[in-house]
Amino acid sequence: MDWTTSLHTLLSTQAPALPSPGMVRLYLVLSWALVLAALGLWLLQRWMPQGKPVWRSAVPAALVLWAVWPGGLSPTYWLGLAFQAPSLLSAVLCGLFLLRQFKPAVLPAERCAVPWYFGTFGIVLGWLLLLDTFAVWPVSLYALGFSPVALAVVALVAVLPWLLAGPRQLAHNISLLLVAVLLLQVLLRLPTGNLWDALIDPCLWVALQIGWLPSQLHRFRGSLS
């Protein structure tokens, strides 16, 4: 096998590995349940910071039950029609947020900070994929998400913070998080079999730009003053 054949194999998107329909349906329900529970708890903390402790458990639990309710009465049905399924990264981040709230000793807050390069990568990737829908790039960036080379490149990017940051625990945590998401995507092929769908989704992309990015800009301006 010459190098051109090997390169064609790495870039090939002709026979992607896709998840089973049953797994897709199960993931759709469970992932939206996690996202809704995390969102409900976050809103509760912002609007009712001095609320009764029982609400901290009751609201997420009620949202999870609502999400797994079958049929058109479930928000999962309508969210799935509008946005399909959240990315694996969104589901994992929401799960970590819930774990931090209910088990702070297991997952301290300082281990959940988002470094600038992590958020920047998500924002840039989202813009690249958005422009790809208008056929701006010479090749289809989204289609490359089905190829083995995309997984190799993202895996290299994922371990770079671990290799370059020395003993800093935050960089190790970020690398571990991304590697775990990549491993789940390889094993389960969720949510669509495409790597980009496992790393970013419209909701996470918008949240990074309206939530994370302004806070980083404010911190940067404060460091200059």
| pLDDT of the residue at 103 | 80
Q: What is the mean pLDDT of residues 89-107?
A: 86
Rounded CA-CA distance 126/119 in Å is 11
> Model's pTM, two decimal places?
0.86
Residue 8 pLDDT level (bands cut at 50, 70, 90) = very low
| pLDDT of the residue at 3 | 44
* Best CA proximity match to 188, nearest among 68, 18, 14, 15: 18
Residue 153's identity, in one-letter code, is V
Instruction: Find the helix packing angle between 53-68 and 88-102, rounded to 10°.
Output: 150
| pLDDT of the residue at 147 | 84
Q: Classify 107 as helix, strand or coil.
A: coil
147: which DSSP letter?
S
Contacts of 35 (CB under 8 A, 6+ apart): 86, 90, 91, 94, 203
Does the pLDDT at position 30 exceed 70? yes
Rounded CA-CA distance 166/164 in Å is 6
Does the pLDDT at position 2 exceed 50? no
Q: What is the mean pLDDT of residues 132-147?
A: 90
Buried b (16+ CB within 10 A) or exposed e, 68-83: eeeeeebebbebbeee
| Residue pair 83/202 in contact by the 8 Å Cβ criterion | yes
Residue 154's identity, in one-letter code, is V
Lowest mean pLDDT across 63-72, 110-119, 176-185, 197-206:
110-119
| Phi and psi, residue 52, nearest 5° | -65, 140
H or E stretch including 112?
Answer: none
Q: Classify 95 as helix, strand or coil.
A: helix
Q: Percentage of the chain surpassing pLDDT 70?
A: 81
